Structure 1
Amino acid sequence: MMDQVSESIRVSIDETQTIIELSNKIQRFDSEIYLEKNVEGSLVEVNLKSFLGLISLRLKNGDVLSVRCEGRDCSVALEEVKQWLT
C-alpha cells in the first residue's frame, strides 16, 4: 500500500510568489501531489506537478484547498506545499 497524507488548508500567499516557484519547488519529490479546489461550483483536482493544472485552479488568498500527497516522501512533500501556500 502506498503512503498517503492529506490536509485542508487556507491559501495565504504573498503577492510576489508565483506558481512557477511552487512548480519548481515540488519537482524534486517522488510523491504525486494533488490539489483540490471548488471552482465555480465544481470540484477540480489537479496534479501539482502539472503546470497547466496549477494554472487552471486560479489560486488566490482565502481559497480553501485539499492537498493530498501519495508516495514515499509524501509527508515531507505535504509540509513543503503547505508552507508555500500558507
Structure 2
Amino acid sequence: MEQVSESITVNIDETQTIIELSNKIQRYDSEIYLVKNVEGSMVEVNLKSFLGLINLRLKNGDRLLIRCEGRDCAEALEEVKQWLT
C-alpha cells in the first residue's frame, strides 16, 4: 500500500472550520491521519473521523504529522497540507 507523510506547522485562518476540512477530504479513498503531541503523548486520529478531529483542538503553531495511506495518498496529503497551512 502506498503511503506518504509530511510534518507541518498549522497556520489556519480563523474563518476556516473543521467541517470544511472534513468535507474536502471525504472524496479521497486514502486513509488520512493527523499525529500531534498532546501533553507529552503522541495522539493519532483518522481525519475522516469528525470527533477525532475535534479532540485534537488544532490551533496555529501546532506541529503535526500528516500521514496518508492509499491509492490517492499524495493528492490527499497535498489537500490537507494546503488547508492546514
TM-score category of the 2 structures, normalised to the smaller one: over 0.9
The alignment partner of 2:81 has SS state of helix
Structure 2 length as normaliser, TM-score? Answer: 0.99
One-letter identity of the residue aligned with 2:20: E
Rounded Cα–Cα distance in structure 1 between residues aligned with 2:4 and 2:14 = 28
1:12-59 residue CA offsets vs partner (Å, 9 max, x unmatched): 000000000000100000000000000111110000000000001000
> Number of aligned pairs?
85
Residue 20, structure 1, aligned to residue 12, structure 2: no
Structure 1 length as normaliser, TM-score? Answer: 0.98
Partner of 1:76: 75
One-letter identity of the residue aligned with 2:38: V
Residue 36, structure 1, aligned to residue 35, structure 2: yes
**Structure 1 gaps, min length 5:** none
Cα-Cα RMSD: 0.3
One-letter identity of the residue aligned with 1:38: N
4+ long deviations beyond 2 Å: none
**Structure 2 gaps, min length 5:** none
The alignment partner of 2:71 has SS state of coil
